[in-house]
Structure 1
Amino acid sequence: MLFNIVVGLVIPWMVVLLHLYKKDKALVLLIGTFSSVIGFTVNELAIYYGFWTVAPFVEPNTVSTLPFNLGIYPVLPIYLIYFIKRHGRPHVFIPLMALVTTSLETILVMNGRVVYDNGWHTPHTFLSYLFPYILVYGYYAYLKKPNVLVELESYHGSREGRGEWGQQYKKAACNIVHTAKHLIRGKQALSFPLSFKFLYLVRTG
């Protein structure tokens, strides 16, 4: 399990945090979370139908895939979209990334850390990566079309955006303290809307 954690989770995210996160935070957050959901879905279905198992071979085997679902499976699509964003040519990068990922998994299969069953073979693995990558690119294209990704990047990267968010946090925090004092004294609290706004900012900021 230590191998899965280090290789599948720690190393990929160290690369992203040191290289890409400061360059494109919005891309990391939006593509990473969406890709992680896809990774969980594919692995859950594949293990349920017995197409593959991952070392250590414990029950439930989904525990063994957890570091990969949270690590390398979100990270590779992040870099896929990063390369497409910089160079274009999605018809080249998508199958290329699927081929690279399939090659990495083939190494794990040869080392006995991944075992295929129920008629699953390497070509199926390639397709199991190709279609999710296409789905991730479609998600990125959907965000790009109404400029959601561009606006989010520019807003968080601007001095005005950072200053405005800082003022909202400070104002909402002061209102939470004020509300708590009223509750302690048994008085009616009138600052709940701003308190909830602060909790919303914490969860989405």
Structure 2
Amino acid sequence: MWINLLVGFLLPGIIIVYLFLKNPKLITLMYPVGVATAFVGSDWGFGFFWNVTPTFEHNPSLSAFSYKIGYFPLLSCLFGYIKVKELVNTAFLILFFTIITTFMELLAVWSGKVLYSNGWNIFWTFVIYFAGFIGAFFYLQLLKKYKILA
């Protein structure tokens, strides 16, 4: 469980604070999107398509909680930060984040930290991350359209 806290919450939290100091408005807007996306996506398939170790008998999704409030929001914040800075092409950014995130999960699967079941595989993981980053892109477009972000 300490690994989950360190990798899922503490390290991402440090990076999120750094990004917040650079662009507080963006991080304030993107962090909740990352949390919401993580909870919706994870809880939808948790226990049926995947599990995270260690597993707790009364609340199996507890082991993924730190990732839902740290790692996944960090991804949305980083995605938004790079997109707003317009450092790379949007299609490349979405594909890059999808591939890197999928690879990170593949490492978790290989290490036994994430367990797939009922036909779930790395391809479906790629698809769900791809959809998430497309959603984050459209959210950023809305923020720009309504002049919430410049």
Q: Do these two structures clear the TM 0.5 threshold for a shared fold by scoring above it?
A: yes
> Separation in 1 of the partners of 2:40 and 2:61?
11
* Counterparts of 1:43 and 1:65, CA distance in 2: 8
Partner of 2:74: 75
- Give structure 1 regions of 4+ aligned residues with deviation exceeding 2 angstroms: none
Relative contact order higher in (CA < 8 Å, ≥ 6 apart):
2
The share of aligned pairs that are identical, in percent, is 27
**Alignment partners' CA distance in 2, 1:140 and 1:106:** 28
1:55 equivalent in alignment to 2:71: no
Report the CA distance between 1:70 and its aligned residue. 0.1
Q: What is the TM-score when the length of structure 2 is the normalising length?
A: 0.94
Deviations 1:112-147 (A, max 9, x none): 010000001111111111101111111111011121
Q: For 1:74-113, what aligned pairs fall within 5 Å after superposition?
A: 74-86=73-85, 87-113=87-113
Pairs aligned (count): 148
Distance 2:16 2:36 in 1: 18
Q: Does the CA-based 8 Å contact 2:33-2:76 persist in structure 1?
A: no
1:153-164 alignment runs, 5 A limit: none
Quote the offset at 1:84 in angstroms: 1.5
Q: Secondary structure at the match of 1:31?
A: helix
Q: Distance in 1 between matches of 2:95 and 2:45?
A: 21
Q: TM-score, normalised to structure 1's length? A: 0.70
Which ranges in structure 2 are unaligned for 5 or more consecutive residues? none
The 10-residue stretch of structure 1 (88-97 or 115-124) with the greater mean CA deviation from structure 2: 88-97
- Could you tell me how far 1:16 is from its partner in structure 2? 2.2
CA distance in 2, matches of 1:148, 1:15: 23
Do 2:51 and 2:116's aligned partners in 1 also have CA atoms closer than 8 Å? yes
One-letter amino acid of the counterpart of residue 29, structure 1: T
Q: Is the 8 A contact 2:26 2:77 kept in 1?
A: yes
3-state SS of paired residue (2:149): helix
**Which amino acid is the alignment partner of residue 70 of structure 1?**
I
Shift of 1:149: 2.2
Instruction: Please provide the CA RMSD for this pair.
Output: 1.1
Q: Which amino acid aligns with 1:63?
A: L
Partner Cα distance (2:10, 2:50) in 1: 23
